[in-house]
Amino acid sequence: MSEKFQVTTLSEIEIPSSDPSIGWAPIRRHLDVGSFGINAWTATEAGKDVIGEHDEVGPRTHRHEELYFVVKGRATFTVDGETIDAPAGTVVFVRDPAAKRKAVADEDGTTVLAVGGRPGEVFTPSAWERSAPALAFFATQEYEKAHKALLEAHEEFPDDPTVLFNLACAESLLGPTDDAIDHLRRSIAIDESFRELAQTDSDFDPIRDDSRFRELVG
């Protein structure tokens, strides 16, 4: 492969998402794109959310502008309550980070490319993207694989509270309780909102009776 360019296909890099009916092609991560975020999503069945409802103003977002391109199939976008029919070739650009947006596949195999970034700033991968490769393994109860993926993300982003929290979840389920407590403690120290999440997350049921866990989550 040339150092000047890379070539791939979505099918070569697609991995399962936490919803088995949705395929995710982590283009940015696969190609190590450093200047903008880019991913592709494919819904195997019509009626599925090919782009889940979200905005870009939450506590772990970066206020990105986002552009969506319908590569294949057909989708119905909803942006701040307004519906948009989007056959293949349609571009939907959401400039306002606060605008709620989602897209539902109208045909089997609908694929949407999503590109995002914050104007005038160096691109930083979102907290969601850093943990996302591991989330599908939680759904299939392949916790060893989830743990491996999260350790790799933790090595790259050691102070990301979302990665730390999900790493603690995997460790709770696998058994290294000391590691789970330590990573959860560090996650909460960085972002207090994870304390409340830990109180109800069933992934922590194996360690819920540990006095250190009870003291940590209150």
SS3 71: strand
State the fold for domain 127-217.
1.25.40
Cα separation, 148 vs 142, in Å, equals 10
- CA-to-CA distance for 179 and 151, rounded, in angstroms? 12
Could you tell me which CATH class the domain 10-117 is placed in? mainly beta
Reduced to 3 DSSP states, what percent helix, strand and coil does the chain have, rounded to the nearest 5?
40, 25, 35
SS (H, E, C) 77-143: EEECCEEEEEECCCEEEECCCCCCEEEEECCCCEEEEEEEECCCCCCCCCHHHHHHHHHHHHHCCCH
- pLDDT value of residue 9: 95
Residue 194: C-alpha distances to residues 22, 160, 217 (Å): 27, 12, 9
Per-residue pLDDT at 167? 96
Angle between the N-to-C axes of helices 161-174 and 127-139, in degrees from 0 to 180, rounded to the nearest 10: 20
- Give pLDDT tens digits along the chain (218 positions): 567 999 999 999 988 777 788 999 999 988 989 899 999 999 999 999 999 999 998 776 788 999 999 999 999 999 999 999 999 999 999 999 999 999 999 999 999 999 999 998 888 777 778 888 888 888 889 999 999 999 988 998 899 999 999 999 999 999 889 999 999 999 999 999 999 999 999 999 999 999 999 999 98
Strands 101-105 and 49-54: antiparallel
Non-local (6+) Cβ contacts of 144 within 8 A are 174
Q: Where are the domains of the chain?
A: 10-117, 127-217
Report helix, strand or coil for 217. helix
